[in-house]
Amino acid sequence: MKRASIQILLTLVTQYKFEIDQLDMKTAFLYGDLEEKNQHVSADRIQDYKKRTYDMQVEKITLWIKAIAKAVV
């Protein structure tokens, strides 16, 4: 972790009065099962999402251009 990231994290912790706990990843299993689920998103799914978002933006812009063209004519 970079120094700037740690500084930002500590600034947020002190500003919002959070508490910080440190866990050693090798012994984290001693604290019991996690209740929350970890979700792994593959790079392919991220790229698909970005492409769909981009395509929707292009489609929206195209519709705006067509609407403006109709209004002008």
Domain that holds residue 69: 42-73
Distances (CA, A) of 39 to 36, 49, 56: 10, 16, 25
Which residue spans within the chain are E strands per DSSP? none
pLDDT tens across 20-66, in order? 877 666 665 666 666 666 667 788 888 888 888 888 999 998 888 88
Residue 37 lies inside a defined structural domain of this protein? no
Question: Which 8-state DSSP code applies to residue 30?
Answer: G
Q: What's the total number of domains in the chain?
A: 1
For residue 46, tell me if it sits in a domain: yes
Q: Is residue 10 part of a domain?
A: no
Q: Answer yes or no: is 4 within a domain.
A: no
Residues 39 and 52: their CA atoms lie apart, in Å, by 21
> Distance between CA atoms of 67 and 48, rounded to whole angstroms?
28
73 pLDDT exceeds 80? no
Higher per-residue pLDDT: 69 or 33:
69
Q: Is residue 58 part of a domain?
A: yes
Neighbour tally for 13: CB within 10 Å: 12
